[in-house]
């Protein structure tokens, strides 16, 4: 039963205040208890519980055969997961940082994404690859990248990026249940709470944030369904992950009546919700942390242009990371923040 199918029962269900790490751990625990085929694997995910502690306590609860450490070999981790999935398991491999996923890229693209097609449906690859991604922890070039566009380009892969603890739990459960491979990127900048566009300080206390209220027990959020964070008339803001909070905070600070949409899943994309909003507002701002050239924002811009051309009142704006290697000392200048987002909003609303 999905969240949309049972809103009343879930509204009345017991809930807890969780951060994103805790919500992810809860989702993993629930799915391992429900399905004996779910296994967790990766570097330090077992005894230690993961570098960010997302798998803490799961090995003790479910045993070393179902939650186990692997060598430092991302190609081997993904390759083993493909074989396990083909023979009936539902592996949830963790890649310690998204920056480390490239050695496993060939296994994801050439094997996992193609297995259903090349076997005419005889085999499937129900793999959920979890990985912290993005900046915000001063991790430098090798611990801060946002490579989501590399995966959205690959037919056969699904790409999910939550922005709240509530969504992280429901989307992760849906990803594990999905019969196709899913890339589940977790924005580590908001693992413990949303932050503003400049410094590492909370926008609001996470333990009082409405989206930190997470229902207990099982629920899922369908992949391919965006969330309208706030409704508005002046413009549409498309974002995902950390940038949902940053862009929303800028709109609120400037007093802009913007409709903010959290895409939640990039593939499959809820283009219907996006198109409906842009047709209503006539203006579109796209915000993401990844580099600009060939970023997912370019695909969004093309889709909006193709579907909403006659409704647009201004050119589509993109605010993104810069086309440079990730800068350690200038991290907060690299992020789309209040200044650059604010300037884009002013251009979109110029003359209104």
Active-site residues, by number, are: 143
Looking only at the bridges linking them, the beta strands covering 67-69 and 128-133 are unpaired
- Residue 282: CB atoms within 10 Å: 17
* Positive or negative torsion for Cα 10, 186, 180, 37: negative
Helices (H), 143-294: 148-152, 165-177, 242-254, 271-281
- Asked if residues 28 and 90 have their Cβ atoms less than 8 Å apart, the reply is no
Q: Which helix (H) or strand (E) holds 201?
A: none
- Asked if residues 342 and 252 have their Cβ atoms less than 8 Å apart, the reply is no
Cα 40 to chain centroid, rounded: 19
Which of 245, 200, 238, 262 minimizes the C-alpha distance to 319? 238
> What is the 3-state secondary structure of 104-121?
HHHHHHHHHCCHHHHCCC
CA distances to 45, 186, 221, 223 from 167, rounded to whole Å, are 22, 11, 7, 11
Q: Give ∠ CA 212-214-218 in degrees, rounded to 5.
A: 155
The DSSP output letter for 141 is: T
The DSSP output letter for 326 is: P
Give the C-alpha separation, 272 to 3, whole Å. Answer: 19
Give the C-alpha separation, 182 to 99, whole Å. Answer: 17
Which of 314, 282, 312, 287 minimizes the C-alpha distance to 300? 287
């Amino acid at each position: 039963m999905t969240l949309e199918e049972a809103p009343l029962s879930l509204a009345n269900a017991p809930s807890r205040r969780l951060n994103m790490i805790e919500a992810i751990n809860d989702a993993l625990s629930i799915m391992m208890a429900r399905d004996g085929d779910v296994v967790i694997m990766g570097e330090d995910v077992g005894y230690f519980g993961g570098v960010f502690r997302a798998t803490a306590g799961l090995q003790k609860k479910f045993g070393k055969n179902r939650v186990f450490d692997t060598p430092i070999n991302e190609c081997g981790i993904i390759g083993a997961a493909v074989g396990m999935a083909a023979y009936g398991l539902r592996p949830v491999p963790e890649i310690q940082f998204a920056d480390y996923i490239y050695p496993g890229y060939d296994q994801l693209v050439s094997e996992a994404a193609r297995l259903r097609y090349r076997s005419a449906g005889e085999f499937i690859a129900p793999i959920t690859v979890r990985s912290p991604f993005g900046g915000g922890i001063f991790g430098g070039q090798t611990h801060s990248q946002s490579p989501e566009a590399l995966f959205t380009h690959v037919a056969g892969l699904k790409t999910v990026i939550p922005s709240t603890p509530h969504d992280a739990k429901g989307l992760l459960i849906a990803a594990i249940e999905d019969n196709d491979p899913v890339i589940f990127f977790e924005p580590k900048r908001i693992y413990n709470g949303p932050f503003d566009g400049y410094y590492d300080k909370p926008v609001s206390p996470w333990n009082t944030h409405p989206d930190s209220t997470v229902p207990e027990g099982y629920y899922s959020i369908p992949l391919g369904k965006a969330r309208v964070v706030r409704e508005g008339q002046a413009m549409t803001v498309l974002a995902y992950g950390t940038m949902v909070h940053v862009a929303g905070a800028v709109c609120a600070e400037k007093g802009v009546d913007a409709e903010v949409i959290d895409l939640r899943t990039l593939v499959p994309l809820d283009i219907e919700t996006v198109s409906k909003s842009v047709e209503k507002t006539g203006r579109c701002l796209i915000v993401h942390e990844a580099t600009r050239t060939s970023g997912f924002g370019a695909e969004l811009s093309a889709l909006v242009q193709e579907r909403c051309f006659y409704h647009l009142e201004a050119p589509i704006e993109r605010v993104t990371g810069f086309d440079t290697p990730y800068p350690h000392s200038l991290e907060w200048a690299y992020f789309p923040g209040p200044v650059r987002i604010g300037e884009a909003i002013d251009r979109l609303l110029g003359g209104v």
